[in-house]
Amino acid sequence: MTRATEYDCVIVGGGPAGLSAAVYMGRFRRSTLLIDSGEGRWIYGQHNENYLGFPKGVSARRLHTLGVAQAERFGVVPQGGRVEQIDRLPAEEGFRLTTTLGVVTARTVIWAAGVRDRWPTFPGARRLVGKRLFWCIVCDGWRTLGREILLLGNIDAAAEDALQFLTYTQRVTLLVDPGKDELSAHARQKLHAADVQVLSGEVRRVKLSGQDIEGVALKDGRVLQAELIFSLYGSDPNTELLRSLAVELTERGMVNINEKGETNVERFYAAGDVTNHHSDQVASAVHGGAQAAQAANYVLYPVRQQLKT
């Protein structure tokens, strides 16, 4: 894009939420631009086993490819790029988005930019994601049936996950970073009572034998045994640009939305993991994108198509 281009809707983020919204907006016959930075969770190597309609599961990348093709079928324009600034325009004119592709205007915006996961920093960690390194018990807890697992976490939420993993396996170890340890005494007591081993240390590297973990070497020289690793460090929402719009955010920086995906800013919607309704699930993201698109579509109807006006 070399000059400003007008759209009924610009969707930011090409994960399940953004693609779901794009399919709906395309089918509503709204001119729609989908901007995706290519840095979302869909680029990981994980295989989704709990999304309806795929008995053998579907990889995140494959689901993304299918979603883009489906959105394009209904006229949506997908573009790789990044939003650098958003400005509010008067009333029904919507928003001006400055992007790495140029400047575009949108009568509505659906923000589905997702989160940035806090991964461990040992060499090669990202290459293990979706293979031997995971982050979500709901998505991948079933993989741990009877297996030895190492959980990386520093707060009580990680301790609670550790207790819940006992549904699948009794061989659970929680490794806490000594410099970031925020586990409460109560959490430690519960873990001890449940025979969950709690260790203090930092991972230096993960030794592999083919595709399997041979050992997890710590910085102090110890080597731990584990078949799978779960990073429970959490994530950060991609909402920095929204502060200039006065979009209401939670303490964690998530976008506050209602059940329709509406924010406190008129004509600005949000969906997926970036919102306070997130649950790290593809199904939830798809639903959120659909809801936001329906809300955005409604305000785009001219007066002659609205009975209440």
The model's pLDDT over 184-212, given as tens digits with 9 standing for 90+, comes to 999 999 999 999 999 999 999 999 999 89
For residues 37 and 176, membership in a common domain is answered with no
How confident is the model at residue 4, as a pLDDT?
53
For the record, the structure tokens of 172 come out as 């659970």
For the record, the structure tokens of 115 come out as 């989160």
Q: Last residue of a domain, which of 231, 247, 267?
A: 231
pLDDT higher than threshold 80 for residue 91: no
Q: Last residue of a domain, which of 200, 231, 262?
A: 231
Using left for φ > 0, alpha for ψ between -120 and 50, and beta otherwise, residue 283 falls in alpha
Residue 27 maps to which CATH number?
Answer: 3.50.50.60
Domain that holds residue 289: 5-116+235-305
Answer whether 0.85 is exceeded by the pTM.
yes
Question: Residue 307 half-sphere exposure, CB side, CA atoms within 13 Å?
Answer: 0
For residues 142 and 40, membership in a common domain is answered with no
Phi and psi, residue 149, nearest 5°: -125, 150
Residue type, 172: V
How confident is the model at residue 93, as a pLDDT?
83
pLDDT higher than threshold 80 for residue 3: no
For residues 84 and 145, membership in a common domain is answered with no
For residues 47 and 138, membership in a common domain is answered with no
pLDDT, averaged across the chain: 95
Q: Percent of the chain scored above 90 by pLDDT?
A: 93
The helix or strand, by DSSP H or E, that contains position 115, with its residue range, turns out to be strand 115-117
For residues 217 and 142, membership in a common domain is answered with yes
User: Measured between alpha carbons, how far is 88 from 86 in angstroms, rounded to an integer?
Assistant: 7
Q: Which of 20, 75, 30, 23 is nearest to 300 (CA)?
A: 30
For residues 51 and 102, membership in a common domain is answered with yes
For residues 182 and 255, membership in a common domain is answered with no
Using left for φ > 0, alpha for ψ between -120 and 50, and beta otherwise, residue 34 falls in beta
The helix or strand, by DSSP H or E, that contains position 75, with its residue range, turns out to be none
User: Measured between alpha carbons, how far is 278 from 285 in angstroms, rounded to an integer?
Assistant: 7
For the stretch 122-164, pLDDT in tens is 999 999 999 999 999 999 999 999 999 999 999 999 999 999 9
For residues 180 and 284, membership in a common domain is answered with no
For the stretch 283-308, pLDDT in tens is 999 999 999 999 999 999 999 998 88
Average pLDDT over residues 102-112: 97
How confident is the model at residue 20, as a pLDDT?
98
pLDDT tier for residue 279 given thresholds of 50, 70 and 90? confident
For the stretch 61-77, pLDDT in tens is 999 999 999 999 999 99
227: CB partners within 8 A, 6+ apart: 132, 144, 147, 148, 149, 212, 213
pLDDT higher than threshold 70 for residue 2: no
For residues 132 and 215, membership in a common domain is answered with yes
pLDDT tier for residue 309 given thresholds of 50, 70 and 90? low
Q: Residue 39, class by beta-carbon neighbours within 10 Å (0-12 exposed, 13-18 middle, 19+ buried)?
A: middle
Q: Is the CB of residue 158 less than 8 Å from the CB of residue 149?
A: no
What beta strand segments (E) does 157-263 contain? 172-176, 197-200, 203-209, 212-218, 223-224, 228-231, 235-237
Overall number of domains in the chain: 2
Q: What is the DSSP string of 151-184?
A: EE--SHHHHHHHHHGGGT-S-EEEEE-TTS----
For residues 146 and 216, membership in a common domain is answered with yes
Sort strands 149-152 and 47-48 into parallel, antiparallel or unpaired: unpaired
Q: Is the CB of residue 35 less than 8 Å from the CB of residue 101?
A: yes
Phi and psi, residue 284, nearest 5°: -65, -40
Task: Report helix, strand or coil for 300.
Answer: helix
Q: Last residue of a domain, which of 231, 259, 288?
A: 231
Using left for φ > 0, alpha for ψ between -120 and 50, and beta otherwise, residue 151 falls in beta
For residues 172 and 213, membership in a common domain is answered with yes
User: Measured between alpha carbons, how far is 130 from 141 in angstroms, rounded to an integer?
Assistant: 12
For residues 112 and 124, membership in a common domain is answered with no
